[in-house]
Amino acid sequence: MGTGVATSKIRILIVDDDAESLELLWQWLALQGHDLMMARSGREALEKIHGSPPDLILLDLKLPPPDGFEVARALKKDPATRTIPLIVMTVRRDVQSKVECLRIGVDDFVTKPFHWDELDATVQAALEKRRLYTALENANQQLQVANSQLMKLSVTDDRTRLYNDRYLRQRLSEEFKRSMRYGTALSIILLDLDHFKRVNDRYGHDCGDAVLRQFGEILVENAREIDIVGRYGGEEFLMVLPNTDGIKAAIVGERVRKATEEYLFPFQDQIVRVTTSAGISSVPTNRDVREEEQFLRAADEALYRAKEGGRNKVIVDRASMPSKILDGDLSPIFNASYEEEPPRRRREESAPDFTGEKG
């Protein structure tokens, strides 16, 4: 009598309409300590398998419809049941029946009348096959999870949990090529936290990291799902806005600027206030831009003018905006809606202020 994995309460479904065979199998397998189920027709078998999947199936070919061949086909076609070991029991000894079963995907055969040692060996071999398959499946799932985590780490900035500069450049390249090919609008916003060094000097780098993280959250809150937001380096951040012209990008930049100015950045028992400056460029409005570096340079130069102009400003690259807008009043742009306004954070009233210091 076989042992091995049989002592681990394996659930076996016996499918047979012959009462004598069913009783013999039930008594024999019960002695092995298995958890047993039975079905007397193909329909009953399928119902029980889908209701409570067994670990192994012993299936007679000659059954009230659907017969054993049809049941086997249904099980092997269904991803939920195809890996359950399936052993066919048959009085048929013809080659054609065996070939048909093998084509369906049956795992093994036992011939009636039973040789009990052969039955035990066949059951144990099928269960071992199932155990190995399950172990391999679990290992593959763990590998997929590990690969997914590794991929996420490879594109994520460790301080802010946003995209890192390498991934930003990759996505920017993809979106820039798409814009150049199809003439669709694309804007970028380059943002820099004003006087950020003073935050690190006064409160330490842990506080600085907390500010970076919370500023990243402000950016995400003010972006759409299709926008690409990440830390570009140091205290600089980049927003890549597909299907967005310079006017809409200006709305986003101003919304981020205002949200940052109003937000009180908590760290331990401290609350810090900072502001941000932003430079924006847009294609294809800026017809001088033909390469990604030119695109970034235009935004960087606009950011530089925002810094030189007193910080806490949003400056749009002049060539990235229609002249009729630049020559007119910008207030309608900033009062417009980029999309539905995101929920505002609750603010507090007092905090150390780095927004108005000189230098």
Q: What would the pLDDT profile of 146-191 be if each residue is shown by its tens digit?
A: 877 777 778 888 889 999 999 999 999 999 999 999 999 999 999 9
Judged against a pLDDT cut of 60, whether residue 201 lies above it is answered with yes
Residue 140 clears pLDDT 90, i.e. is over it = no
- 223 contacts: CB under 8 Å, gap ≥ 6: 229, 239, 241, 252
pTM of the model: 0.59
Residue 285 falls in which region: left (phi positive, over 0), alpha (psi -120 to 50) or beta: alpha
- Annotated active-site residue 235? The verdict is yes
* Interstrand relation of 108-111 and 86-90 (parallel, antiparallel or unpaired): parallel
Single out the catalytic residue among 23, 217, 235, 291: 235
Per-residue pLDDT tens for 305-351? 999 989 999 999 989 887 666 555 555 455 544 444 444 443 444 45
The secondary structure of 3-59 as a DSSP string is -GGGGGT-EEEEE-S-HHHHHHHHHHHHHTT-EEEEESSHHHHHHHHHHS--SEEEE
Q: What are phi and psi of 280, to 5 degrees?
A: -125, 140
Quick: pLDDT tens for 58-102: 999 889 889 999 999 999 999 999 999 999 988 767 788 888 888
Domains assigned to the chain:
4-141 (3.40.50.2300), 165-335 (3.30.70.270)
Torsion 102-107-112-115 (CA) sign: positive
| Residue 150 confidence (pLDDT) | 74
Task: Give the single-character DSSP code of 320.
Answer: G
